[in-house]
Amino acid sequence: MRLKITRIFAIVIACAIISGCHRPHDSYNLDGLRSAIDSIAAASPGTVGVAIITPDGDTLTVNNDVKFPLMSVFKLHEAIAAAHVTDRHNQSLDSLLTIRRDEVSPDTWSPMLQDYPRGDFDISIGDLIRYMLLVSDNNASTLIFDRVVSVAHADSIIRTLDVPSSFQLRFTEREMQADHPKSYENWSSPLSCAALIKAVIADSLVSPVKQDSIRSWLSQCSSANGRMASAVAQVPDAKLYHRTGSGYVNDRGQILAVNDIGLIELPDGRQLAVAILIKDYAGTQPQADAEIATLTKIIIEHITYSSS
């Protein structure tokens, strides 16, 4: 009960810090925003990492030196790498792969298998990426790593982009499911994640058709709607491109990671990149989702209304 009261108190303080700033923005008072975020992070039963890239290109980070497990956030890295490789091979996303039944697991999160319930099947590379980004399908992710781009190659491709290289990709969903501690070996700083999703929306990383497809699928992501999506939904005409990740309980009974990274397009067209990563969370999944939603709401309100 004490923890719950402390967390609520922190949120009240955070909102108080933000309130009163209801003027059209000239620039962004990031010190005030940092204080609000720090209040919530200090009361959290997990380690909270935040990175923000403002519409002006300024950055704010909290716990950016911590290695946060990516979980399914790495499916964004994977999608970009797969698009890059198919560009180099002059392959379309419509290129078909024949999938043997023994290549997929019935014991993992895989909405794709509801559409392909029996036997071997043919599926396009684009559809595999779509299943990854829309519904975070684990089999689709493992198949892309097995058949299109290896984990090591994906890691090296993302390192060529103009984003901080404070990340690491080492294992597939299949390998993490078999040995949960391996999930800690796929990690990132918050700023690397925020910079990556900003680049996907704002820069030219792969061929236009493929990048447009990735952007579209990020805008339709339907996983973990209680996190960033619930906060953005409260802002009329705002749009969210995002990728979530969470899962597994460590040997201390903590949720290994609860994450959301997004590019928020505000109603006036300004773009705000946000990464919120939570590590080793001792509360429940809905509580962690609510923390991400609260942080997102505070960030949006601050950027929308603050001025120096």
Residues involved in catalysis:
72
Per-residue buried b or exposed e for 147-168, using 16+ beta carbons within 10 Å of the residue's own CB: ebbbbebbbebbeebebbebbb
CA distances in angstroms from 225 to 28, 37, 165, 177, 237, listed in the order given: 28, 21, 29, 23, 17
Q: Which residues partner with 48 through β-bridges?
A: 278
Nearest partner of 13 among 30, 34, 35, 29, judged by Cα: 35
Place of tokens 């962004």: 28
Using CA atoms, how far apart are residues 59 and 28, in angstroms rounded to an integer? 10
Which residue, 82, 67, 9, is CA-closest to 39?
9
What is the rounded distance in angstroms from the CA atom of residue 34 to the CA atom of residue 198? 20
To the nearest 10°, report the CA torsion of 157, 265, 32, 162. Answer: 20
